[in-house]
């Protein structure tokens, strides 16, 4: 599954460059604790979180995460978007809850990476 597919299927707002939409997603992970994501999220996953600060980009780069979905209508800080563009990290946002997004992705066949 590619980022482009989930953006289209669930009307997510892609906040970073178009070139990142062709990234392959190998699974999913939901957590708001950066240390938990660093310990357990796998390369290629889509990360669902309500965190919106620049440190999420550093974690995504460290773990080679395919993209980040920010939930609950939260908007990332300008610094977060700038850092994500520089580091080529796909960031999407949605008004939906983490529970709903995870359920929708599971319904598309995506499974957890832990």
User: Domains along the chain?
Assistant: 3-107 (3.40.1390.20)
Average pLDDT over residues 72-83: 95
Helices (H), ranges, the chain? 3-9, 34-40, 55-63, 78-87, 98-107
Provide the 10 A C-beta neighbour count for residue 104: 15
pLDDT at 114: 63
Average predicted confidence (pLDDT) for the chain: 94
pLDDT one-digit tens code per residue, 22-35: 889 999 999 999 99
State if pTM tops 0.85: yes
pLDDT value at 17 more than 80: no
pLDDT value at 107 more than 90: yes
């Amino acid at each position: 599954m590619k980022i482009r597919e989930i953006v289209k299927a669930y009307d997510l707002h892609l906040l970073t460059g178009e070139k990142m939409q062709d990234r392959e997603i190998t699974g999913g992970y939901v957590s708001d604790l950066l240390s938990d994501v660093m310990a357990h999220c796998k390369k290629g996953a889509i990360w669902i979180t309500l965190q919106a600060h620049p440190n999420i980009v550093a974690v995504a780069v460290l773990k080679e995460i395919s993209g980040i979905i920010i939930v609950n209508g939260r908007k990332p800080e300008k610094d977060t978007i700038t850092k994500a563009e520089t580091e080529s990290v796909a960031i999407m946002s949605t008004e939906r809850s983490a529970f709903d997004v995870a359920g929708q992705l599971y319904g598309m066949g995506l499974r957890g990476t832990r």
